[in-house]
Amino acid sequence: MGRIGVLLLNLGGPDRLEDVGPFLYNLFSDPEIIRLPFPWLQKPLAWFIATRRTSRSQANYKKIGGGSPLRRITEAQGQALKEQLLALGEDAEIYIGMRYWHPYTEEAIARLTQDNIDELVILPLYPQFSISTSGSSFRLLEQMWKTNPQLQKQKYTVIPSWYKQPGYLQAMAELIAQELDQLENPDEGHVFFSAHGVPKSYVEEAGDPYQQEIEECTELIMRTLNRPNPHTLAYQSRVGPVEWLQPYTEDAIEELGEQGIKNLVVVPISFVSEHIETLEEIDIEYRELAEIAGIDNFRRVPALNTHPVFIRALADLTMDAMKSPRLDLSQVSQMKKNVKMYPPENWEWGITSSAEVWNGRIAMLGFIALLFEMLTGHGLLHASGILH
Ligand SMILES: C=CC1=C(C)c2cc3[nH]c(cc4nc(cc5[nH]c(cc1n2)c(C)c5CCC(=O)O)C(CCC(=O)O)=C4C)c(C)c3C=C
Ligand SMILES: [Fe+2]
């Protein structure tokens, strides 16, 4: 076999405070993040929400050193994976494709099409699949493949999710065990899995397998840990007014406090690197909540980052993917049964003349309403709680 490439997909994060606004705009422009019935409203609404959210978000990034560590950590993971693959006899080229910030997926694809890679493995750095994360990156890649004849010649395979991978489970269990062992009585630690949330409608209406994969993953980690500790799963980082997956992390912490739990070991489960939601939300906000709830001992399990057992797991995933039958991007959504990406594949972009007329009229009304709301602070978005 010739030269292989590994495309690592990740979310991306603002490197500096001045990147926060444009990063949020990119994030909210994604129809897999805000699912709107009218595609024309996506960009104005993204601009509006990003503008309103920027200073609050910047204040949080300031608390963790003025930017996201995600790029640095993902690059370190890429370098460690390259070395691990070399040790297994595979001289691979690693590409990093972020969804909402540099290095963008488009930049990674531009690099790899110049490199003459024989076989490409597409590996999302999200253990569990969600429409809003891996799904969004796969959809972007699918569009690129459709429009780029050079890419169409590229042989590739996709790893849709990998939360059952034994090395990954082992690395998570080791990190949890290390944290439990710091307690005076390790068996008394309550293991608290905090997963990034998604709106409930993603799971119940759009068929996102995320909740099922998170729940199964939690059970598999506990089985690998093989200790008698009780555990809880909750969902963090809710954005906007709609209902997200429950229980919410803040409510669950409060409840455990009321039950008299004194030792909490918090495990971030949906992401493999430190980022704002571990360093700020868990380490600062939830720690404070726990203290108020009477939990004396609050410990957080570090993210996997470049943990050697985890890097070996990524290398094994890559090698196994090359030996298995290829899986292409269009097969992935079939595999993740019932997943309805948004907007749907057969979305009609106002192709009939009457639809064009109505689209135009509604767009005009929407814009006027949005402008009015921005100037006065009153309107539907405020009333519904989307904006504050
Ligand atoms: C598996 C992990 C993630 C899921 C699922 C996810 C869904 C999701 N996220 C938002 C809104 C925001 N996410 C933000 C940052 C952010 N999100 C993830 C991971 C998942 N998101 C990460 C790792 C990060 C941080 C990147 C970094 O800079 O370190 C933000 C910006 C931060 C903030 O302003 O609070 C927003 C907003 C939605 C709406 C969503 C599902 C629909
Ligand atoms: Fe997020």
DSSP string, 119-138: EEEEEES-SS--TTTHHHHH
Strand partners, 167: none
Same domain, 144 and 57: yes
**Domain membership flag for residue 106:** yes
Would you say residue 344 lies in a domain?
no
Q: Helices (H), strands (E): how many in the chain?
A: 16, 8
Do residue 8 and residue 153 come from a single domain? yes
CA 209 to chain centre: 14
Looking at the fold, whether 278 and 372 belong to one and the same domain comes out as no
Q: What is the pTM of this model?
A: 0.89
Q: Indicate if 51 and 122 belong to the same structural domain.
A: yes
Answer yes or no: is 233 within a domain.
yes
Q: What is the pLDDT of residue 339?
A: 65
196 is in an annotated binding site: yes
Q: Considering the domain boundaries, does residue 342 fall inside one?
A: no
Q: Pick from 237, 253, 238: which is nearest to 288 by CA?
A: 253
Distance of CA 166 to the CA centre of its chain: 21
Same domain, 109 and 220: no
- The answer to whether residue 345 is domain-embedded is no
Are 82 and 100 within one domain? yes
pLDDT value for 48: 97
- Whether residue 183 is contained in a domain is answered as yes
Report pLDDT for 74.
98
Computed over every residue of the chain, the mean pLDDT equals: 90
Same domain, 154 and 14: yes
Look at residue 335 in the predicted model and tell me its pLDDT.
79
Beta strands in the chain (DSSP E): 4-10, 92-98, 119-124, 156-158, 190-196, 231-236, 263-268, 297-300
Question: Of 378 and 37, which is predicted with more confidence?
Answer: 37
Q: How confident is the model at residue 369 (pLDDT cuts 50, 70, 90)?
A: low
pLDDT at position 334 is: 73
CA of 269 to the centre of ligand 1 (A): 13
Same domain, 142 and 27: yes
- Output the ligand 1 site: residues, CB below 6 A: 11, 13-14, 27, 33, 53, 57, 68, 70, 126, 130, 132-133, 196, 198-199, 239, 270-271, 275-277
Number of domains in the chain: 3
Ligand 2 centroid to residue 112 C-alpha, Å: 27
Residue 324 domain-assigned (yes or no):
yes
Domain boundary among 274, 300, 326: 300
372 pLDDT more than 60: no
CATH of the domain at 150: 3.40.50.1400
Q: Which ligand is nearest to the CA of 69?
A: 1
Per-residue model confidence (pLDDT) at position 2: 74
Q: Across residues 114-132, what is the average pLDDT?
A: 96
My answer on whether 159 and 173 are in the same domain is no
Please tell me the distance from the alpha carbon of residue 158 to that of residue 101, in angstroms, as a whole number. Answer: 22
Same domain for 38 and 150, yes or no, is: yes
User: Would you state the pLDDT for residue 381?
Assistant: 55
277 is in an annotated binding site: yes
Residues in the chain: 388
pLDDT in tens, 148-194: 999 999 999 999 999 999 999 999 999 999 999 999 999 999 999 99
Could you tell me the residue range of the domain that residue 31 belongs to? 4-163+307-335
* 32 and 153 inside one domain: yes
203 shares a domain with 100: no
Determine the pLDDT at residue 377: 54
